[in-house]
Amino acid sequence: MSDELTRAQAIMVSKEHPRYASLILRNKLVEGYQRGIASAHGLIAHGRGEAFDYLLGEQTSESACNATKVACAHLLTARCAVLSVNGNTATLVPDEIAELQEIIGIAVEINLFHPSAQRTKRIADHLRDHGVANVLTGFDFVKLAHIASDRANVDKKGIFKADVVFAPLEDGDRAQVLTELGKTVMTVDLNPLSRTAVTSTVTIVDEVTRALKNLVSLADHVGSDGQRKELNLLKASFDNQENLKASYAIMLKQLRDLSR
Amino acid sequence: MSDELTRAQAIMVSKEHPRYASLILRNKLVEGYQRGIASAHGLIAHGRGEAFDYLLGEQTSESACNATKVACAHLLTARCAVLSVNGNTATLVPDEIAELQEIIGIAVEINLFHPSAQRTKRIADHLRDHGVANVLTGFDFVKLAHIASDRANVDKKGIFKADVVFAPLEDGDRAQVLTELGKTVMTVDLNPLSRTAVTSTVTIVDEVTRALKNLVSLADHVGSDGQRKELNLLKASFDNQENLKASYAIMLKQLRDLSR
């Protein structure tokens, strides 16, 4: 079916389209699917995110920016921080993952909702091609209780031993279980009402490429300009539920404005 | 990648899941994609719909029900009604398309945003397998002006000569152009804020399988129980913009309730 997809991409990338940036991302994800990195369900999940991003005005909010700062503080002060990567994240932000690893030294673990050995290998190769080192693939895993999906299998050297788990585009079940295990769970989720958003310790309600770019930029500058103290203060006073409310408010306002 | 998808389906179909019905639909669409009927972009579009349906409470609203009645009245009184079918519609409601054709005698035209001869043929075969007769495939087409995509190509015996075009899951560009050509354009769109929703003559803000089942049921009973007069009255007094406002209101309320 490559004929359809090639044609689709040729049509969609028109700079005049009111939602150009969103369409570019969409094409990137379709390409990731064609390459066997993203899953079919991942495409649908991306669509859900698009709808919520539309209601957020397709831009990073102040509350998302705050959550990103707090996430950065957690990463910088973690005993062992692990970034959990799925197909969509690997497709959309491989360079940012490599940069974050270089700056913070975060471990990277591939953990898929719809796993297969082939897809895990393709994702690992893709991440390595983009400069990510030491990709954990759950070869030596522990099975967490109370998670129905294969995301229960976590790497012994990764999520299992981490105190801070950064899992963009997470699923609700696991976010809750990891939090109950006493881990600090941080996520990127465009739906502020999702179980993932509500049960995580820190939820960045933002589109994942915007969020990761901001996080890399923050991590890159924090040492040099003394922002570290400010980030730690933010971390101490951060209330995830309160912060999520700001996203609801934006969506409500946007819906009201658009419906006029 | 069939190993991943088979596994995905086995995981997802758990009756305990709070969003079981939505997951069943999602699997059906992934299967449609695997069979080359739906497109990769169609999967993403479905995900967008899911998010809006979530905000609509995943049920048919009174305003959606009204729009469906008005759509039924238009179909029953049309000189030439054509149902425009894309990959997602063909995947999700082939039986309902066949039933609607049998009851109303509506023409069925395959019209794709991301067309290919192979996919059109697969969709035509799929529709015929489900009992749809005389599938128009745009073999003898006219190109409508002011539409950037290949959806501009409409069948001479179908959309081109129709006075009433029923195009579920339509794109905004074409809805507008068809309306400007003086046609009655009816759509099913879960996003009440989309260009399609706003520019169509009748917009059913509902999930496409629920909407088509309701439409078939209405069309099937309208002759026998004298509802025809009521439908025509509804048609005469229908205001699409006013009706859309009811959907915005539901979404606003749902967001407010969920965010508490």
Q: A184 CA to chain B: closest CA distance, Å?
A: 23
| B116 is a domain residue | yes
Strand bridging mode A153-155 / A141-143: antiparallel
CB contact under 8 A, A3 and B116: yes
What's the total number of domains in chain B? 1
**CATH code, domain with A141:** 3.40.50.12640
Closest Cβ opposite residue B50 in set A1, A48, A255:
A48
Find the mean pLDDT for residues A118-137. Answer: 96
Beta carbons of B136 and B158 less than 8 angstroms apart: yes
Q: Report yes or no on A10 lying in a domain.
A: no
Question: B151: pLDDT confidence band, cut at 50, 70 and 90?
Answer: confident
Distance from CA of B220 to the nearest CA of A (A): 33
Q: What percent of chain B has pLDDT over 70?
A: 93
pLDDT at position A250: 93
A171, B11 Cβ separation under 8 angstroms: no
Partner residues linked to B154 by β-bridges: B142
ipTM above 0.95, yes or no: no
The pLDDT of residue A4 is above 60: no
**What is the rounded (10 degree) CA torsion for B237, A255, B175, B153?**
-160
Residues B8, A41: C-beta atoms closer than 8 Å:
yes
- How is residue B101 written in tokens? 């054709």
Show the domain range for B144.
62-251
pTM of the model: 0.89
Residue B160 lies in a domain: yes
Q: Which of A40, A46, A259 sits opposite B193 (nearest CB)?
A: A259
In a domain, A260, yes or no: no
Burial A53-82 (b: 16+ CB within 10 A, else e): bbbbeeebbebbbbbbbbbbbbbbebebbb
Q: Is residue A182 part of a domain?
A: yes
Q: How far is A78 from chain B (nearest CA, A)?
A: 31
**pLDDT tens digits for range A219-254:** 998 865 567 788 888 899 999 999 999 999 999 998
Per-residue pLDDT tens digits for B212-258: 999 999 999 886 556 778 888 889 999 999 999 999 999 999 888 87
Any CB–CB contact under 8 A between B3 and chain A? yes
Contacts of B47 in chain A (CB under 8 A): 43-51
For residue A27, tell me if it sits in a domain. no
Beta bridge partner(s), residue B142: B154
The DSSP symbol for A156 reads: T
Q: Directed axis angle between helix A20-34 and helix B40-55, to 10°?
A: 120
pLDDT tens per residue across span B41-96: 999 999 999 999 999 999 999 999 999 999 999 999 999 999 999 999 999 999 99
Residue B6 lies in a domain: no
A146-160 confidence digits (pLDDT tens): 887 777 888 899 999
- Residue A1 forms part of a structural domain: no
